Amino acid sequence: MTEPNASEPERAWYVKTYADKPTVTVDAKWLTNRQGRDFVLFAGLLDAAHRAGLQEIRTLVVQTPHPQNQMTTIVHATAAFPWGSFDGVGDANPENTNRMIAPHAIRMAETRAKARALRDALNVAAVAIEELAETPRDDNEAERHREAARVRTQPSNEPDFVGDPPSARRVSEESIRRAASAAAPPKGPRDQAVEKFDRMRTTAVRMATAGTLDLDDALIAPFPADATVEDVERRMGQLLVLINAALQKKKEGGV
């Protein structure tokens, strides 16, 4: 749509910028609902971007994790389309990621940066599920998260081993995990079911990486806070079917 009093060059700019932009929406299968609010999966944004004519995505690590910056990674992303380029910035640290994602902060920061750039380009108002941190259930759990992050980022007086012998360090880390586990309140049936699903999900993702399992991202997405044990077990059953099928295929000489 052009401005009524625009000059010829300005009118041409409006036509080039807006008339050539395709109308592309994110497929509903890539949407998820958490506590009554809709979120989009990064896989859905990427799918819509390719259908819209994505030309390239460039990323740059602006800040690497270090104890002095609370182990925070910052990544800048630029997504180029025929109608323009769009920027996004993503960050990741132990405070805004869950315990499974925290060791992969650089990759998560990159995913978040790309998600924000693609959301701007595609006019998607819904936040990407990957941009969310796991919300602590209560103040005591939040304090445990902060204490765990403080322990991880404290300078260590242990020597830097070059070869195999980081056994002392492994023992130290294991002691910290045991102490944190002992201090934590007993887990309820839902927490136990979620932990069991997390172990199965890790196996499934590894198999998918090896090319033996085709996973739907929605199947392995984090559970909403109000998920029931039945919700967890239902999705666990779906995932177990895929894993068993992949193992059987491999046993019979498949991929």
Band (161; pLDDT cuts 50, 70, 90): very low
How far apart are the two ends of the chain, measured CA to CA in Å?
52
Report strand pairing: 56-63 vs 37-40: unpaired
* Partners of residue 40 on adjacent β-strands: 31, 128
User: What is the per-residue pLDDT across 189-209, written as a single tens digit (0 to 9) for each?
Assistant: 777 887 888 777 777 777 777
Integer angstrom CA distances of residue 67 from 100, 137, 151 = 19, 26, 10
Taking the C-alpha atoms of residue 73 and residue 59, their distance in angstroms, rounded to an integer, is: 13
Q: Is 239 exposed, middle or buried (0-12, 13-18, 19+ CB in 10 A)?
A: buried
The pTM of this model reads 0.47
Band (75; pLDDT cuts 50, 70, 90): very high
Band (133; pLDDT cuts 50, 70, 90): confident
Band (163; pLDDT cuts 50, 70, 90): very low
Residues sharing a CB contact under 8 Å with residue 241, sequence separation 6 or more, in sequence order: none
Q: Is 178 exposed, middle or buried (0-12, 13-18, 19+ CB in 10 A)?
A: exposed
23-134, which class in CATH?
alpha beta
**What residue type is 157 in one-letter code?**
N
What pLDDT does residue 159 have? 45
Taking the C-alpha atoms of residue 241 and residue 245, their distance in angstroms, rounded to an integer, is: 6
At CB < 8 A and 24+ separation, what contacts does 54-58 make? 54/79, 54/80, 54/81, 54/118, 55/80, 55/81, 55/82, 56/80, 57/114, 57/117
Band (65; pLDDT cuts 50, 70, 90): confident
What pLDDT does residue 168 have? 41
Q: Give the residue-averaged pLDDT of 130-135.
A: 73
Domain locations in the chain? Answer: 23-134, 136-153+173-185, 187-255
- 18-32, 35-49, 65-79, 91-105: segment of lowest average pLDDT: 18-32
**Tokens coding 144:** 């445990």
Q: How many CB atoms lie within 10 A of CB 44?
A: 27
pLDDT higher at 75 or 216: 75
Q: Give the residue-averaged pLDDT of 76-82.
A: 93
Three-class secondary structure of residue 184 per DSSP: coil
- Whole-number average pLDDT of the chain: 75
pLDDT at 230 over 50: yes
Backbone angles phi, psi at 85, to 5 degrees: -110, 145
